[in-house]
Amino acid sequence: MSRFEVGQILWGKISSYTIAVSLRNRPGGPWLAIGPNCERFVVKTGPENRLQKEAQALRLFRGCGPLRQLVDEVQDPPSLVLEYMDSSVLSLVKKNKLARVEAKRALQAAAQALVALHENGIVHTDVKPDNILARDNAPGGALYKLSDLGDCSPADVPSNDGNHLIGAEIFCAPEVLLGIPWTAKADIWGLGATGITLITRSYIFFPRNPPPPKDPRLSLAVLQIQNDFYGPISRAAFRSLAKDSDLPLLQQLEESYRPFPLSKASPLVRQEDVEFFGYIMRADPRERPSASEILRHPWFDGV
């Protein structure tokens, strides 16, 4: 991973870019860069295989409005030049600057991006508030885009066999946390979990005393919370999907199921939210709607 210096000039395939500042105050960036006509861009570095995967995916979606666009590629050092966006919706939520209607618009844009990805056989794998970006001064109001395709995956590759964790645990679908083979429906759960965060301004699936990230106990703790909100996560929900070795844990989740309605999670939750997220957050991935079906839900009326 490259560490750039302020004033360093990067040469891409189509233009040059001058590094201005690190956007996250860390050696790996991302970095704000200025083009020859004073345009702002973001330069992203990282493991070369992730950069190549993201660039390959983004080339397929040139002109796709709800996905952050690839502008240029730099070979030395390996990095991507991306469309500039002002902030993530996560930062807006933390600053209490995301109104309810804007939360809906942000989730709508993410769903539109998932339609494009899924129709082309690509799973994003990491849908979360930090990966939905906002531009404040766009014509017609704030503009929202889904970003970060570095971990995207074809929907039918062997890596989807459940043997590795994708995304942040609190936005992961139950089948991912259980180690069960996943599909594009894992993105749908992540979309719903993201929407709940934007509306409640909190992480409802985050344990009170969480183990460290990637600790197997964290997955179990998140599963239990998911189970109470949108369970039961049961043997019936994963019929023909789960392995025999998964059945004891599924039975344990069934027996520990204590329903806790979303309406009690936050005073910001309205009945339309209960109905909308109940429609999305189904334990059985086969029962979850597609991204295009979600966009037709009345929750988005008037947005």
What one-character DSSP code corresponds to residue 169?
A: G
Same domain, 110 and 176: yes
Report the CATH number at residue 54. 3.30.200
Q: Are residues 79 and 91 in the same domain?
A: no
Last residue of a domain, one of 83, 108, 129: 83
Fill in the DSSP letter of residue 64. -
Query: Which span out of 19-33, 136-150, 182-196 was modeled with the highest average pLDDT?
Result: 182-196
1 within a domain of the structure (yes/no): no
Task: Let me know: does 245 contact 220? Beta carbons within 8 Å.
Answer: no
Whether residues 171 and 273 share a domain: the answer is yes
- Tracing tokens 């936050």 back to the chain, one arrives at 266
- Helix (H), strand (E) at residue 110: helix 100-119
Considering the domain boundaries, does residue 3 fall inside one? no
Q: Could you tell me which residues come within 8 angstroms of residue 102 by beta carbon, excluding any fewer than 6 positions away?
A: 92, 142
Domain of 101, in residue numbers:
87-300
17: in domain: yes
* 74 and 170 inside one domain: no
- Condensed to tens digits (0 to 9), the pLDDT of residues 37-89 reads 999 999 999 899 999 999 999 999 999 999 999 999 999 999 999 999 999 99
Whether residue 132 is found in the same domain as residue 206 = yes
Considering the domain architecture, whether residues 22 and 104 belong to the same structural domain is answered as no
pLDDT tens digit sequence for 116-172: 999 999 999 999 999 999 998 777 778 999 999 999 998 876 455 555 557 889 999
The CA distances from residue 64 to 42, 132, 147, 154, 228, in Å, are 18, 15, 12, 18, 37
Last residue of a domain, one of 18, 49, 83: 83
Peptide bond into 30 cis (omega under 30): yes
Q: Are residues 33 and 170 in the same domain?
A: no
d(CA 66, CA 303): 15
d(Cα 70, Cα 236) in Å, to the nearest integer? 43
Looking at the structure of the chain, the number of domains it has is 2
